Amino acid sequence: MEKMSVYSAEGQIITTLTLLSSRYSDHKKLLVIQTEELRRIEDAEPLSGAFIEILPEERYPLGEGEYWIEDLKGLSAVRHEDGAPLGKLVDVATAGENDIYVIRDDSGNDHYIPAVKQFVAEVN
């Protein structure tokens, strides 16, 4: 059985769980996992808001135009019209309907760009 670490928002390991099964719900955009240690919803509630790490080779396939956040981090952002550098993508904020790309310029300033076709011409 595979072990899975659970992390706090600060990156500290909270606990390690034994993974029994998992499935992804496209409809709910939710990963559902079953573990040996957490048998009831009440057992899992204290872990609400925690993070798990999914290794790249264990990721489920994404649809067209969907990307894993970790794969986007570090990409260069350029202005579509003239290719002028804007900075590096350092994070993706998830808020509301659309994600927000956090682009850090060479001066260390963060710029927030909605992750929609109107503002992001392509990702490669």
Residue 87: per-residue pLDDT: 95
Q: Are residues 87 and 45 in the same domain?
A: no
> Quick check: is 121 in a domain?
no
Q: What is the 3-state secondary structure (H, E, C) of 71-96?
A: HHCCCEEECCCCCCEEEEEEEEEEEC
| Structure token pair of residue 109 | 């300033």
Residue 74: per-residue pLDDT: 94
* Helix residue spans in the chain (DSSP H): 41-44, 69-72
Last residue of some domain: 55, 85, 100?
55
- pLDDT one-digit tens code per residue, 26-41: 777 777 888 999 999 8
- Whether 1 has a pLDDT exceeding 70, the answer reads no
Q: Are residues 41 and 82 in the same domain?
A: no
The range of the structural domain enclosing residue 92 comes to 69-114
* Number of structural domains the chain divides into: 2
- Is this model's pTM higher than 0.85 or not? no
Residue 73: per-residue pLDDT: 93
Q: Which of these, 83, 81, 88, 77, lies nearest to 123 by C-alpha position?
A: 77
Residues 62-74 have a mean pLDDT of 87
- Whether 62 has a pLDDT exceeding 90, the answer reads no
> Quick check: is 85 in a domain?
yes
> Quick check: is 89 in a domain?
yes
**Bridge pairing between strands 13-25 and 51-52:** unpaired
**8-state DSSP, 13:** E
Highest mean pLDDT of the ranges 26-35, 59-68, 112-121: 112-121
Amino acid residing at 95 = A
Residues 50-76 have a mean pLDDT of 83
